[in-house]
Amino acid sequence: MSKPSSRRSRVEKCARLVFRCGAGAGSCCPAAPVAKFGPQDCRPTRNTARDRALFTALQRQHPNGRPGVLRLLLYRKSKTKPNGKKPEEKKLYLEPEYTKNRVVDFDLKELVVLPREIDLNEWLASNTTTFFNLINLQYSTISEFCTGETCQAMTACNTTYYWYDEKGKKTKCTAPQYVDFVMSGCQKLVTDEEFFPTKYGKEFPNSFESMVKKICRDLFHVLAHLYWAHFKETVALDLQGHLNTLYAHFIVFVREFNLVDPKETSIMDDLSEILCSPLPPAPTPAPSAPASAPSPSSQNHVTER
């Protein structure tokens, strides 16, 4: 007996063998484990009219056959996810019930504008040190939830941040490791008299502005991670108002002095536009009716018992 030459004859022969064996679990057919495959995991080997017609013909020829076997004959397991795109996660921190929570309700730009007769570097140093302390404190409130198991990478808005050491070596690390690198590096700089001088008359180094920009960029990564990965814990602690105010103050500051590249902060632009705009004025309560003055007789009335 000659071997079948066409693809269709080979497939039909295999199909007859499968259905003759019953195609059940534990049958003698090597295709029995087909139950592991499903329509959601499979796609056509070749999306041609010939393949579709052959699949339909096999279904008609074996109406009682198991569909999974037919799929196994003509389909292969897909290596891509359905639609090829990951569904976008809902950003809880953009919900109006949370964005309206602020600690202050005035224009934060008034706090960051350089005052008259104040040196620019002194102003940058003072604010950068303050933001480092506040962001470090804010992160400490949820640090027990940010572990190597829960945050295996430093992510924010589908962006993964890598740490670059002093030699420029790129390293992928967990979120708590990344934050530790950021805070340790900032602490080392802001407490070093060579970089952040506090004594009167001592000049700032020429590289001071570039160091401030690096610190602010790294601190932004921490803030973005807090919103992206730990906003639920922040809400549970009722600290979303503090986080919102801190974030808005920081963004207004770095924008005022162009300390962080807008491309770097663009992943949080939706939140920035909401929080950096002033809150709408609270509705004015309707005036209440004036209370009637008590009559002299009622003032002097004494109840006897």
If asked whether residues 101 and 37 sit together in one domain, one would say: no
Torsion of CA 142, 144, 150, 153, to 10 degrees: 70
Torsion of CA 245, 246, 250, 252, to 10 degrees: 10
User: Residue 189: what pLDDT?
Assistant: 95
CATH of the domain at 184: 1.20.140.30
Structural domain includes residue 229? yes
Structural domain includes residue 170? yes
Task: Give the domain extent around 170.
Answer: 92-275
Task: Tell me the chain's radius of gyration from C-alpha atoms.
Answer: 33
Structural domain includes residue 267? yes
If asked whether residues 250 and 105 sit together in one domain, one would say: yes
If asked whether residues 45 and 138 sit together in one domain, one would say: no
If asked whether residues 72 and 201 sit together in one domain, one would say: no
Structural domain includes residue 219? yes
Structural domain includes residue 290? no
Structural domain includes residue 291? no
Tokens of 53: 């017609």
Helices vs. strands in the chain: H and E counts, helices first: 12, 6
User: Residue 104: what pLDDT?
Assistant: 79
> By the 8 A CB rule, do 254 and 218 touch?
no
User: Residue 39: what pLDDT?
Assistant: 42
If asked whether residues 103 and 166 sit together in one domain, one would say: yes
| 26-59: burial string, b at 16+ Cβ within 10 Å, e else | eeebebbebeebeeeebeeeeeeeebeebbeebe
Angle made by CA atoms 161, 90, 233, in degrees to the nearest 5:
70
User: Residue 6: what pLDDT?
Assistant: 52
If asked whether residues 76 and 111 sit together in one domain, one would say: no
**Tokens 């536009």 sit at which residue?**
273
Torsion of CA 122, 125, 120, 104, to 10 degrees: -110
If asked whether residues 65 and 97 sit together in one domain, one would say: no
146 is in an annotated binding site: yes
242 is in an annotated binding site: no
**Residue-wise pLDDT tens for the chain (305 aa)?**
555 455 555 545 544 444 444 444 444 444 444 444 344 444 444 455 555 555 565 566 656 555 544 444 444 443 444 444 445 567 888 999 998 988 877 788 889 999 998 999 999 999 999 999 999 999 999 999 999 999 999 999 889 999 998 888 899 999 999 999 999 999 999 999 999 999 888 899 999 999 999 999 999 999 999 999 999 999 999 999 999 999 999 999 999 999 999 999 999 999 999 998 765 655 555 555 555 555 544 444 443 43
Q: Determine what percent of the chain falls in helix, strand and coil, rounding each to the nearest 5.
A: 55, 5, 40
If asked whether residues 73 and 200 sit together in one domain, one would say: no
Q: What does the alpha-carbon distance between residue 35 and residue 24 come to, in Å, rounded to a whole number?
A: 9
If asked whether residues 148 and 30 sit together in one domain, one would say: no
Tokens of 119: 């040196």
43 three-state secondary structure: strand
230 is in an annotated binding site: yes
Angle made by CA atoms 298, 301, 305, in degrees to the nearest 5:
140
If asked whether residues 209 and 77 sit together in one domain, one would say: no
pTM equals 0.64
The number of domains in the chain is 2
Of 81, 113, 144, which residue constitutes the final position of a domain?
A: 81
Angle between helices 120-140 and 240-256 (to 10 degrees): 160
If asked whether residues 188 and 264 sit together in one domain, one would say: yes
Structural domain includes residue 20? yes
If asked whether residues 158 and 259 sit together in one domain, one would say: yes
221 is in an annotated binding site: no
Structural domain includes residue 235? yes
